[in-house]
Amino acid sequence: MKLGDYIDMVAPPDIRPPAFTLPDNTLSRLPSNPGSRPKDMVPWDGFDDEIVNFLEPYIDKEYPELEDKFGFKAATLGRLAPVSESQVMDLARRVYEDPVCRILLYLFGIQAAFYDHRATINIGNPDRILVRLDPPQSPSSASAHTPTNEGGQKARLVVEFKTPWTLELPDDLAEVYNKCKKNPDHKITRTIQQIYGYMCWNDVRVGVLSTYTSTFFFQRDQKLQDGLRVSRKVKHSDTGLRSVVAGLAYVCHFAMMEEQALCGTHILSFDGPLSVIYAGTWNSRLKIPWNEMRIVVGERLSCGNAAVVTAQLRHREYDKKMNDRFKKLVVCKIYDLSSPESAMDAQTELDMYIRLKRLQGKYIPTLYAAGTYWGMLRILVLEKCGGPVPLPPPPSFWPQARQTIESLHSNGVVHGDVRMHNFTVNRTNPSDVAVRLIDFARSSPPDKHEFESLCRGDIDKFDDLRRRVEEGSNKGSGYDYGNGNDDENDGAYYGWD
């Protein structure tokens, strides 16, 4: 099949507005933060010419591997009138992502896949990310739902989806944004802030905003400091080299071939004194000026509903004496507040740390500070307290771990997620390890009628976990003994010593 015929065959179906809609939780309800928006948005001049120059040499060539594996199902999905963002995204996956992955593979030998944000360790929760597959996978799995790459992969491109009935995208997005960017409550301002944040925090140069019926492509350019280039509005009905598939293939190839910035260069900070909602210290004689501190992101450790990263705290003044005084290696847990589920987990975890303050530094990590960044991220700055539990665990691990769980219960809190990756050990002295319990997003202070049974549930899970580990097999255990990337694994590591 010729490439041109393949692109024309995709033919994304029309979708009709549903009779009813499910709540759309993907549209950020957070007011835009003035410091977190692109200062200007300019048209991506020559966007269509770049696509033509990129794909025209291949357009009439035959590629036997290209074939229709999506048309019938996509047309069926379109007629079903999707009512939620996830259903719209599933349709887009079939008519945009799958064909592009095949074009990248069979024309350029690039094995790539689109996943949700949990496939790599990102800051924030973009709807979809593009990664290069390593080790190589078969073409049939090139756009599978289930991520197979480990956390070492880096997102090359971020995609944010909205439904066309909750966000109407204008024909000239740059003009509308530049007019409304000072209005923090405008839908367009909030949406652009969201995708711009995902691009900046993860050192990604290319981003996509799509409602399925309308798609825009963005590019961060070093010549445009704090600005964005934006393509024309690409409609789902556009065909040939003006289609969404052609545009997406071009920007994905660009993202794959572009030299990527290294992780660990992004600097976070709290938005100001009012955004610091919890202020602590690691030294009772030292008061930390948190609104003046900088958080230099280092190694990205794990992901789930939050990203867990190591970081170096520094004072904003480039003064050696000042930096020596406040410099500290920490672990940060970073939640995306634009996601209701993530925002709820962030609040739960913060509430539990405050409630369990007397246990901090002994049974659980010390919480140094908590606040917001760009109005979109909730950052918990935590003690760097050890690494994952080795298998088999040292003999002193099991009694200490049980004591840690019981200490929570004695303070009126049920952990709710007792698994091996929610413990850390300080291995500086292997014969006498210090055990900490982490990840309190599923924790709760239940009422007195449920408390006893839920506490017993924690202990039963712990006893079952110990039995399975000591049996030397975790097959079918339901527990993740490693660092994993499952949706509940928000922090398997809280830093190596």
Q: Is the pLDDT assigned to residue 176 strictly greater than 70?
A: yes
Top-ranked range on mean pLDDT: pick from 18-32, 167-181, 430-444: 167-181
Residue 448 parent element (H or E): helix 448-470
Q: What is the arithmetic mean of pLDDT over 272-297? A: 90
Name beta bridge partners: 410: none
How far, in whole angstroms, is CA 229 from its chain's centroid? 23
Helices then strands (H, E): number in the chain?
A: 12, 18
Q: Are 124 and 267 in contact (CB under 8 A)?
A: no
Spatial separation of the C-alpha atoms in residues 163 and 187, rounded to whole Å:
13
Q: What is the pLDDT of residue 70?
A: 53
Ramachandran sector of residue 487 (left: φ over 0; alpha: ψ -120 to 50; beta: rest):
alpha
Q: What is the pLDDT of residue 170?
A: 95
Q: Is the pLDDT assigned to residue 385 strictly greater than 70?
A: yes
Q: Is the pLDDT assigned to residue 38 strictly greater than 80?
A: yes
Spatial separation of the C-alpha atoms in residues 210 and 74, rounded to whole Å:
17
Q: Is the pLDDT assigned to residue 139 strictly greater than 90?
A: no
pLDDT confidence bin for 15, thresholds 50/70/90: confident
- Decide which of 70 and 109 is more confident: 109
Q: For 435-474, what is each residue's pLDDT tens digit?
A: 999 999 999 988 878 899 999 999 999 999 999 998 874 4
pLDDT confidence bin for 104, thresholds 50/70/90: very high
Q: What is the pLDDT of residue 39?
A: 85
Q: Is the pLDDT assigned to residue 273 strictly greater than 50?
A: yes
Mean pLDDT across the chain: 83
Pairing between β-strand 306-315 and β-strand 234-235 as defined by DSSP bridges: unpaired
pLDDT confidence bin for 101, thresholds 50/70/90: very high
Top-ranked range on mean pLDDT: pick from 173-177, 303-307, 493-497: 173-177
Q: What values do phi and psi take at 213, rounded to 5?
A: -80, -25
Q: What is the arithmetic mean of pLDDT over 470-490? A: 48
pLDDT confidence bin for 48, thresholds 50/70/90: very high
Q: What is the pLDDT of residue 154?
A: 81
| pLDDT above 90: percentage of residues in the chain | 55
pLDDT confidence bin for 75, thresholds 50/70/90: low
Q: What is the arithmetic mean of pLDDT over 225-236? A: 92
Q: What is the pLDDT of residue 144?
A: 38
Give the C-alpha distances (Å, rounded to integers) separating 401 from 204, 397, 473. 40, 6, 20
| pLDDT above 70: percentage of residues in the chain | 81
Q: What is the arithmetic mean of pLDDT over 312-340? A: 88
Q: What values do phi and psi take at 488, rounded to 5?
A: -100, -5
CA nearest 160: which of 107, 217, 203? 217
Would the CA dihedral through 375, 377, 380, 385 be positive or negative?
A: negative
Half-sphere exposure of 160 (CA within 13 A, CB side): 27
Spatial separation of the C-alpha atoms in residues 121 and 346, rounded to whole Å:
17
Q: For 332-380, what is each residue's pLDDT tens digit?
A: 999 999 889 999 999 999 999 999 999 999 999 999 999 999 889 999 9
Q: For 403-423, what is each residue's pLDDT tens digit?
A: 999 999 999 999 999 999 999
Q: Domains in the chain and their CATH numbers? A: 3-257 (no CATH), 267-382 (3.30.200.20), 388-470 (1.10.510.10)
**Which pTM value belongs to this model?**
0.84
Q: Are 150 and 161 in contact (CB under 8 A)?
A: no
- Decide which of 475 and 3 is more confident: 3
Q: What is the pLDDT of residue 63?
A: 93
Q: Is the pLDDT assigned to residue 171 strictly greater than 80?
A: yes
Q: Are 437 and 422 in contact (CB under 8 A)?
A: yes
Burial of 225 (0-12, 13-18, 19+ CB in 10 A): exposed
In this structure, what DSSP letter does residue 95 have? I
Q: Are 255 and 208 in contact (CB under 8 A)?
A: no
Pairing between β-strand 214-219 and β-strand 206-210 as defined by DSSP bridges: antiparallel
Give the C-alpha distances (Å, rounded to integers) separating 364 from 140, 242, 279, 464. 45, 55, 17, 22
pLDDT confidence bin for 120, thresholds 50/70/90: confident
